[in-house]
Structure 1
Amino acid sequence: STFPGPLGMAASFNASLWFAKGDVLATELRAFSNTNWHRSNVDNQIQYTGFGPNINIARDPRFGRTSELPGEDPYLSGTYATHMVRGMMQADAAGHPKMLAYLKHFTAYSTETNRQHSDFNVSSHDLWDTYLPQYEMAFRSAQPAGAMCSYNAVNGRPSCANGYILRDVLRNQWQQPNAHITSDCGAISSLRGAPVFAPDDATAAAVALNNGTDLEMGSQVYASLAEAVARNLTSSTLVEEAFRRAARILFRGGRFDPPATVEWNAYGVQDINSSATQALVHEATAQSLVLLQNRHGILPLAPGQRVAVVGPLVERGDALLSDYASLVCYDGTYDCIPTLGASVTAANKGGATTVVPGVDVNSNNSSGLAAAVAAAQAADVVVAFLGTDKTIEREGLDRVNLTLPGLQGLLLDQLLATGTPVVLLLNNGGPLAIESYLNRTAAVMETFNAGQFGATVMAKALFGQVNNFGKLPYTVYPAGYVTEQAMNNYDMALYPGRTYRYLVQAPVFPFGFGLSYTTFN
């Protein structure tokens, strides 16, 4: 089952939904493990360890992994993680957690460019006011299995070799002595480069182990730990402590107990994407959409009209998924995900719906513009579905600006010039700067990455079949913001400021903003 991405889930501001998502995730993970499923495209059998939730702060709107985050506010992020982890790690009668949850990426990670060798200056105030509170809240309140340390360095110390953060803060100050720390993939081998410049694998392994990282992923540097002990770079005592924390996790999950004593071993195929879960995902999706504008009450639309559904995403189910969505369709394709074009066609009963992509997400091919404009001219209303996909923002790829990519801005201008009312739906991770269109669009709805039933629920929302809109979990900045703020500067208060807590300029839309079809007085 694929819920809306974390931004959409956070936009619901509904803690029970966050718990429910964690519960479903753990149930299905156990079911996959029990039935010997393998991860897509690899030989590894699915187990019951999950590296998430990701609660890095949406510090900069260009960050490529914003789609994985619950937003820009530490309290919101910490509350989200607390309830989701409680759902993931609820225990059976014998005390076995349903799955093992690891918070990531610990900590102050929000830049993809040169991410494995980046070093950011972070003040003590910002560290404790922005980059640590959500982790402390979740560790103290939900007791996750551990954390994944991040690629970046903070004040000269890579996170996976930062004894202050891993040992002094997490294990000692927060009283989590058994927190199991694993590296992000390749983070230990990165210690061979800047800023540590370890001369060999044994030294890199020792630096990480000495500072609190128990387990390496993605490389084989820890294979040199025996050499590191022999060279007195580390000690067998620390190796044993790391092993004990890893073994404790396995015992805690029930790996060595009689199968019948672990309640979760009863889960099977029938518990994967069940009808009850599908209903829950539909409800979560309805609460994830944010209505940003509704001039003259154009929404909800009345069925039976001539509707043009236009934009590069109208026939793409894959674009509805956030960066770390996994297998959705059984055959490995995205064909089972409803598209917006098909969903609006089904919802517009008695009407005529025309579906025209017009342009690609990010290209200069204008050959489809004329057909899109013609469809708009012949329609009573246009639904424009625009935004980003993984060619624009993802792990390993930050954005360089906040504007609509490719020819999408030109397409929107030409649609608006027809005089037909335009309802703009946005699909994105990081926020899009749309201020130049707001005085011409009839309505705007932020959908983030709405998941497997996203298009179905969007269509229902457009035609008034659902009215459970959420609120923005981050600030929407104007396009010029990125020219005033260097992405690699981690000072939250540096002019013009970051997030709603420090921004001194007027945003396009503020954190927490969202409308409804309901009129309140």
Structure 2
Amino acid sequence: MYTIFNTNTNSNCKYRFILLALFCIFQTAGQSIYQNPKNTIEERVNDLLSKMTLEEKLSQMVNNSPAVERLNIPAYNWWNETLHGVARSPYNVTSYPQAIAMAASWNPASLKTMAEYCAVEGRAIYNDSKKKGKTGIYLGLTYWSPNINIFRDPRWGRGQETYGEDPYLTGNLGSAFVKGLQGNDPVYLNASACAKHFAVHSGPEWSRSTYNAEVSKHDLWDTYLPAFRDLIVDAKVSGVMCAYNQFEGKPCCGNDILMQDILRKQWNFTGYVTSDCGGIGMFWKTHKTHTDKETAASDAVLNGTDCECSSDPTYKALKSAIDKGLLTQESIDNSVRRLLTIRFRLGMFDPDEIVPLGKIDISALESPAHKAHALKMAQESLVLLKNENNLLPLSKKIKKIALVGPNADEKSVMLANYYGYPSHVSTILEGIQSKVGDRLIFEQGLTLVDNKVFKSSYNPKEFCSGKQDGFDASYFQNTKFQGDPQVKRLDKKVDFKWGDGHTIDNKIIIREMSVRWSTDYTPLKSQQVTFSLMGDDHAMLYIDDNKVIDTDLKNSYYTLKAEKGKKYKIVIEYVQFNDNAEVKFDIGIIETLSPEELASRVKDADVIVFAGGISAQLEGESMPVSVDGFKGGDRTHINLPVLQTKTMQALKATGKPIVFINMSGSAMGFQWEAANLPVILQGWYAGQAGGQAIADVLFGDYNPAGRLPVTFYKNVNDLPDFENYSMENRTYRYYKGEPLYSFGYGLSYTHFVYSDLKTPVSVRKGENLAISVQVKNDGEMDGDEVVELYVSHKDAGLKVPIRSLKGFERIHLKRGESKIINFNLNPGDLSIINDEGNTLQPLGSVEISIGGSQPSVAAIKSGAAMSKLVAVTQ
């Protein structure tokens, strides 16, 4: 059945219509209108709505919606995520590169395929969970992805979740995601996508519950809204999530300008809107724009927020708000109607046989095609920023290669945030080893921010609980270790990664739970040992009843002078509130090397690869991080951690060539590295196949062609304040300075030449502009090229971008092959936004530039880009 329902061919449609007809004949006698699939969804929704009480309707307006058994409405949790693969579920799934990395591929087709595969895996999880009677969080079909906010400032920690700084690129990639995830069936959705966060939202994380985003009408319609319009009006996304912050003095989820005028009236959006989680409570708790729960809840509903995501919903006050006359039942009906419509479109009230993907089972998870696509997308995402003297690709016959750095053997850096658990994650170490075997020297040498490297020496024979090696484990279905544990068992080791909703012995659900592990540690020799504890949420370590570690999110260490034969009581406590659950206990030593000592260990290598950068442990959503350069998940500057630069300086002093692989979800200002190292490869957070993909590029098994979806600035000194939402001097469209690496930039192992750019001398206002150019692979290797088209208005007489991306296509050319690339710009592509936020097409000269990057004098001289002026006439 997987192959039957995995496509939308005519034969499959006929097959489903036959099933539907048979079902209607034999199964629908005596059913209500809403239970009969032969009726339209609108008829079915209205019928069901008419049968519901007010209390039943209100119960459906929160993310964790209970069942209405008398009407056969199953319980449903609206909250699910598939940013770059199905996230946080209790199943092993395929994990693709982080969103910003997929954007670097500049390949909507690849992203659409990825989303199609996510819909398949999501359906498999939903179908399997439904059979088992599970309806919890991260098991549903309403995915709160993609994040199409504009990555306007490199300091925003959640920028990694976006498709970059450009509205046109973001709109194209986001639309591909929506179409892939939702499918094109005329009745049913494969899954529901959700465009977030609407609107004018991109940090800071630390003040998102209080700040008021103020922007000009020009910036609103020129930068912040175009991608949302693409997804809502053109791609027909079925869901929208409103943002935490205020816009022009009103919280976004209760904002009449955004939610009523623009979203519902101008764009005619008919789908559902959910709040960001906890966002409605912020109306009266932190924004202080509303006096109480009733006014907050009613204002959100009146402005079209249909579903509140919260563990303590403000929407509990809706009945009281109705009683006080703050809103009517008609407003409630409007919201519940939209919510029910989505559930009917997802086939939740119909037999599996007539629903696309309705029979998919978990054998579809991590299928060979899905895993192959994860590798393909990782390869496509990699951006070669520098390759002095063509050092890359490296020879596989290299005598000795050294790999050092904090991200060299780190799996978590590949998964980024909002991730699911694949069965296997390839690291850079594993990838390079697959190419050169034992000719590789590996020395981690440092962590992301210091040189204290933990090396495990865990011996299970030193840990004994009672008569057996291991830990006595007590699992509680609460976060306070209260009452009797629901599960008691022996765990051989404390090293777990659980998806939200996973169960422990079918008794404990991984959500708002706690675990206590107890054992005795008896060292086999006297020595100084270090205990390591990592807990994603909250973890504590006690030794002889003394708390020695109390940590959130990151690894913490405690060193003990252990005596041979002495028994130490060890207790580990872990508390998990939501999302994925991760906890790991280990014992070993801390090795501390100076940069010079590390360099001396690898100085005999022919090439030294440094895998550094940062990770989602430092940048992300509202995180308790207090490391230099980072604040609450955001960044205070964009420099590499100082120790990494000092280490690469010491490595360079060996005289050996250095290959720098930067892992990050945001732009980095590595000025010293750009000036002094021969090779820089931007690795992003590349997903489960990231290590293999990076090794493929290093050794020439894949020719890189990724392009930056963001500007890499030298530093943040030239940028406006982070909380200033003006686009003045931000992104390539308005930045007046000299970037370190520009938006759209990326190198290849081959060379492409542009010629024969054809455009008319003039075009009449309101007409399309046809453009063509010839691209030739003039180098020595087959490879991909990203053809980028920019429009620049030379004499508009108004504030306009320096240039704007208005077309792109990723193509593959064999060595010596040529291809004609055609673009057809419509009047909208040739238009600008005036100070009042209105669209107009000015007369005068328009510069059309095409190349493998933004136009420059050097690019044009080398044949890597071309430009022409076209006159727009009346």
TM-score clears 0.5: yes
| Aligned residue number for residue 405 of structure 1 | 641
Indicate the residue corresponding to 1:240 in structure 2. 333
Partner of 2:592: 367
State how far apart, in whole Å, the 1-side matches of 2:290 and 2:644 are: 47
- Distance in 2 of aligned mates of 1:138 and 1:270: 31
Selected match of 2:193 from 92, 101, 104: 101
1: CA distance between counterparts of 2:601 and 2:169? 42
Alpha-carbon distance between aligned partners in 1 of 2:370 and 2:145, rounded to the nearest angstrom: 20
Counterpart residue identity of residue 339, structure 1: T
Instruction: Name the residue aligned to 2:668.
Output: 432
Cα distance in 1 for partners of 2:272, 2:670 equals 43
Q: Counterpart of 1:463?
A: 699
Alpha-carbon contact 2:718-2:737 (below 8 Å) kept: no
Q: Give matches, 1:79-228, under 5 Å.
A: 79-92=172-185, 95-111=187-203, 112-176=205-269, 178-218=270-310, 219-228=312-321
Q: TM-score, normalised by structure 2?
A: 0.56
- Given candidates 422, 428, 433, the residue that maps to 1:328 is 422
C-alpha distance in 1, partners of 2:212/2:444?
42
Amino acid at match of 2:274: T
C-alpha distance in 1 between matches for 2:638 and 2:704: 27
Equivalent in 667, 676, 684 of residue 448 of structure 1: 684
Deviations 1:144-175 (A, max 9, x none): 11200010111111110111111110111012
Shift of 1:194: 4.3
Residue type at the aligned position of 1:128: W
CA distance in 1, matches of 2:377, 2:163: 14
Q: Write the distance in 2 (CA, Å) between the matches of 1:189 and 1:444.
A: 45
Counterpart amino acid of 1:169? I
1:444-475 deviation per Cα after TM superposition (whole angstroms, max 9, x unaligned): 11111111000011001100001142111010
The offset of 1:442, in angstroms, is: 1.3
SS of structure 1 residue aligned to 2:144: strand
Which residue of 241, 265, 283 maps to 2:358?
A: 265
Counterpart code for 1:36: S
CA distance in 2, matches of 1:393, 1:263: 38
Distance 1:233 1:291 in 2: 58
Q: Distance in 1 between matches of 2:325 and 2:339?
A: 23
Kept in 1, the 8 Å contact 2:281–2:296? The answer is yes
| Structure 1 residue ranges without an equivalent (≥5) | 330-335
CA deviations 1:237-262 (Å, max 9, x no partner) are 11110111111111111111122111
Shift of 1:37: 8.1
Match of 1:337 in 2: 425
Q: Structure 1 pair 256/398, CA: closer, same or farther in 2 (3 Å)?
A: same
* In 2, Cα distance between equivalents of 1:44 and 1:136: 29
Partner of residue 3, structure 2 = none
User: 2:752, 2:350 → 1: CA distance?
Assistant: 56
Q: Of the candidates 349, 354, 357, which is equivalent to residue 441 of structure 2?
A: 354
Residue equivalent to 1:386: 612
In structure 1, distance between residues paired with 2:617 and 2:427: 19
Question: Match for 1:321: what amino acid?
Answer: L
Q: Which has the larger radius of gyration?
A: 2
Indicate whether 1:519 and 2:751 are aligned.
Answer: yes
Cα distance in 2 for residues equivalent to 1:21 and 1:301: 30
- The one-letter code matched in structure 2 to 1:385 is A
CA shift in 2, pair 1:511/1:240, >3 Å: same
Question: Structure 1 residue 43: deviation in Å?
Answer: 5.0
2:196 aligns to what SS in structure 1? strand
Question: Do the aligned residues in 2 keep the contact of 1:171 with 1:179 (CA within 8 Å)?
Answer: no
- 1:53 deviates by 0.5
The whole-number CA distance in structure 2 between the counterparts of 1:196 and 1:235 is: 24
Deviations 1:332-364 (A, max 9, x none): xxxx31211121122125x61011111111236
1:269 Cα offset (Å): 1.4
Q: Deviations over 1:469-506 (max 9, x none)?
A: 21110100012x2465210000101xxx1000000000
The size of the alignment, in residue pairs, is 505
Query: In 1, are the aligned partners of 2:385 and 2:679 still within 8 Å (CA)?
Result: yes
Distance in 1 separating the partners of 2:138 and 2:652: 51
The whole-number CA distance in structure 1 between the counterparts of 2:348 and 2:737 is 54
- Aligned-pair CA distance for 1:45: 5.8
The answer to which structure has the higher strand fraction is 2
Q: Quick one: distance in 2 between partners of 1:54 and 1:164?
A: 21
- 1:322 deviation in Å? 2.2
Structure 2 residue ranges without an equivalent (≥5): 1-93, 453-590, 623-632, 754-874
CA distance in 1, matches of 2:598, 2:266: 59
Moved more, 365-374 or 198-207: 365-374
Corresponding residue number in structure 2 for 1:332: none
Moved more, 261-270 or 143-152: 261-270
TM-aligned CA deviation for residue 390 of structure 1? 2.4
Q: Deviations over 1:306-329 (max 9, x none)?
A: 111110011111111222222223
Alignment check: 8 A CA contact 2:151 2:710 kept = yes
Q: 2:733 aligned to 492, 501, 507, which one?
A: 501
- Amino acid corresponding to residue 373 of structure 1 in structure 2: A
Correspondent of 2:103 among 1, 6, 10: 10
Shift of 1:276: 1.1
The alignment-based identity, stated in percent, is 33
Q: Which amino acid aligns with 2:693?
A: V
Q: Does the 8 Å CA contact 1:4/1:321 hold for their aligned counterparts?
A: yes
- Provide TM-score, normalisation by structure 1: 0.94
CA distance in 1, matches of 2:303, 2:387: 53
- The one-letter code of the counterpart of 1:322 is A
Answer 1 or 2: which has greater helix percent: 1
- 1:187 positional shift: 0.1
Q: 1:258 to 1:43 in 2, by over 3 A?
A: closer
Residue 333 of structure 1 aligns with which residue? none
Give, in angstroms, the shift of residue 202 of structure 1. 1.1
